[in-house]
Amino acid sequence: MQVHSLPNFSIEPIGNISKSVLDLGLNELHQVVKYVHKLPYGRNSDRSNYNLVLKENKGTCSTKHALLAALCIEQGVQSIKLYTGIYEMDDANTPGIGGVLERFGLRSIPEAHCYLKYKQERYDFTRFCESGHSNLQIIKEENILPNQIGEFKETFHRSYIQNWLQEGELRPFQIDDIWSVREACIQALS
């Protein structure tokens, strides 16, 4: 699966995102996807404002994919959707976090990840690979709108962690403990 598997279309100047990408000289979706993919991974100053990706020249899975999904919405393309999914984050699928997990005696923790879907195929244009193929084993996923990458995504994620803790009987961990481990993992990636 590659960026070329996504439908390509010319960008029309019909919204703020469309105008911003056109100002960068990006005239079609595939160019925008490649541009956004190459931007460094990093949290934006407002984690739920995907418009900051182009201003701050960086983004996370949430902000980068929400920006791309919002562009598709502006352009009237309904077939490319934004999703958030849960996967078991470990050092194998997220190199660089092994030391953090080891420090807390964990092999993995549930992490929420955002990506695009087209014809039931997942497309990840953050850090996984140039082709856009994600090797993550998604456990649970939900179609969301770009404005849901903040509070909704966090609630979805925390709810999953709570169930994961209860089912796995990972005492003495509480949800805030796992959330702190998650934050330390993200810090290790930055």
Q: Same structural domain for residues 58 and 95?
A: no
Q: In the predicted model, what is the mean pLDDT of residues 131-139?
A: 69
Domain boundary among 74, 96, 118: 74
Cα–Cα nearest to 125, from 5, 31, 42, 3? 3
Position 16 confidence tier, pLDDT thresholds 50, 70, 90: very high
Q: Both 64 and 99 in a single domain?
A: no
Distance CA 7, CA 81 (A): 12
What is the amino acid identity at position 115? Answer: Y
Could you report the per-residue pLDDT of 146-156, keeping only the tens digit for each? 999 999 999 99
Distances (CA, A) of 42 to 52, 152, 165: 11, 20, 28
CA distances from 43 to 39, 72, 136 (A): 12, 22, 21
pLDDT at 79: 97
Mean pLDDT of 115-125: 93
Over residues 24-33, mean pLDDT? 97
Residues whose CB falls within 8 Å of the CB of residue 37, separated by 6 or more in sequence, listed in order: 3, 64, 125, 126, 130, 132
pTM to 2 decimal places: 0.90
48 and 94 together in one domain:
no
Rounded-to-integer distance, Cα 161 and Cα 111, Å = 9
Q: How many CB atoms lie within 10 A of CB 82?
A: 25
Q: How confident is the model at residue 171 (pLDDT cuts 50, 70, 90)?
A: low
pLDDT of residue 136: 82
131 pLDDT above the threshold of 60: no
Asked whether the bond before 172 is cis by omega within 30 degrees of 0, the reply is yes
With cut-offs at 50, 70 and 90, classify the pLDDT of residue 109. very high
Confidence of residue 139 (pLDDT cuts 50, 70, 90): very high
One domain, residues 179 and 144 = yes
Q: Are residues 93 and 114 in the same domain?
A: yes
Average pLDDT, the chain: 91
155 and 65 assigned to the same domain = no
Select from 74, 100, 120 the last residue of a domain.
74
Judge if 131 and 174 occupy the same domain: yes
The answer on 62 and 87 residing in a single domain is no
Domain that holds residue 170: 83-189
What's the order of all strands across the beta sheet hosting 81-89?
A: 121-123, 109-118, 81-89, 140-144
Q: What's the number of domains the chain is made of?
A: 2
- How far is 115 from 7, CA to CA, in rounded Å? 16
Confidence class for position 133, pLDDT limits 50, 70, 90: very low
Phi and psi torsions of 29, nearest 5° = -55, -45
Q: Are residues 64 and 113 in the same domain?
A: no
Residues 46 and 134 in one domain: no
